[in-house]
Amino acid sequence: MIPLYKPFMPETPQINEILKSGQLAYGKYGRAFEEQLSHYFETSNVLVTNTFNMAILVALTTLDVKAGDTVIVSPMACLASTQPLLSIGVIVQWADVDPMTGTLSPESVRSLMNIKPKAIIHNHYCGYPGHIDEINAIGNEFGIPVIDDGIEAFGSEYKGKKIGNVGSDVTIFSFNPVRIPNTLDGGAVIFKDDKLFEKSKLIRDAGIDRTQFRDNLGEISPNCDITMIGHSATPMEINTYIGTQQMENVDSLLSTQRENAKLWKQWYASNLNGKPIENHNSNPNFWVFGILAEDKIEMIKEMRSKGYYASGVHINNNIYSVFGKSDFLPGVEYFSNHFVAVPSGWWVDLKDELNV
């Protein structure tokens, strides 16, 4: 069975040297990885974290989102994107999604402006960019920051620009094992605003200003005050070193995934049970290849019988009681009942198998 996900790992010849160096905390490889990401996204305001969970918390803390604040969120997301909000006491307000894409419905988001949310988190489901201009316009109109949740969208593009540099206030990424790139575990935050970026660097490191933290003897200085809530979110050198090696392969891996997507599109052109997700103004990374199936269960069975591990990937998070009562959301209901993903990753060779 061809898997839906598979971790990629390049050659990592410096691992043993790093392990024996005694320099395991955030250092030269952490900075090098951030520089690579800055070049990739064409922005200098990139911060790497030790987990995706911490990327979310650093982003929210930097935006002064606190316990009791309401944040608009899509139920069609990985649970890793939504659970961290509850850990700091945020009230999750579900918005509906476009039933054809699984991403936030601008009309639904606009209808929730009366509750005065503190932020909007815009998940780009399985790497398929959502209605970015429309959601950002709502955020700008009402003075509410928009966080692009790119947990599965590294390398995805919208109107010729990469997610991470499409005008949103903040973008978050995951580098867990089945993402590209992966650092075993990790995340990143990108800020559009320079002042917020500078603030986030302190928040990532427990609120510490390292230029003043120690005195001339190397002792912790009592004159260095901690003025804001922070997190222990700096990455380890092993992880970021792996990230630097991953970045050398990102373009070729994404190219393979996009070539596989073209073949899937040709194959599904003659399959009456499903049609591909349409890419409005976007070029997804095709972390998976998404289909809207007439019969979801039958499509999953059909593709697995052909040797491809098909799946719905995520379940709509508004079913979980931990988030409290949820209203019926028709777009979420439709998308959740029809979405199927098939493998399109770098490990899949479709040219001979699909005969298209």
- CA 33/CA 169 separation, integer angstroms: 22
Domain 250-342 in CATH 3.90.1150.10: yes
Phi (first) and psi of residue 91, to 5 degrees: -90, 120
- CA 208/CA 212 separation, integer angstroms: 8
- CA 109/CA 99 separation, integer angstroms: 14
Q: Where are the alpha helices (DSSP H) in the chain?
A: 15-21, 28-41, 52-62, 79-87, 106-111, 132-142, 194-204, 237-247, 250-268, 296-305, 330-338
CA distances from 46 to 26, 31, 32, 172 (A): 15, 10, 11, 10
Return the pLDDT at 291. Answer: 96
Which pTM value belongs to this model?
Answer: 0.96
Domain-by-domain residue ranges, the chain?
Answer: 15-247, 250-342
Retrieve residue 201's tokens.
Answer: 């660097």
CATH hierarchy code of domain 15-247 = 3.40.640.10
Equal CATH topology for 15-247 and 250-342:
no
- CA 48/CA 30 separation, integer angstroms: 7
Q: Write out the chain's pLDDT in tens, 356 residues.
A: 999 999 999 999 999 999 999 999 999 999 999 999 999 999 999 999 999 999 999 999 999 999 999 999 999 999 999 999 999 999 999 999 999 999 999 999 999 999 999 999 999 999 999 999 999 999 999 999 999 999 999 999 999 999 999 999 999 999 999 999 999 999 999 999 999 999 999 999 999 999 899 999 999 999 999 999 999 999 999 999 999 999 999 999 999 999 999 999 999 988 878 999 988 899 999 999 999 999 999 999 999 999 999 999 999 999 999 999 888 999 999 999 999 999 999 999 887 667 55
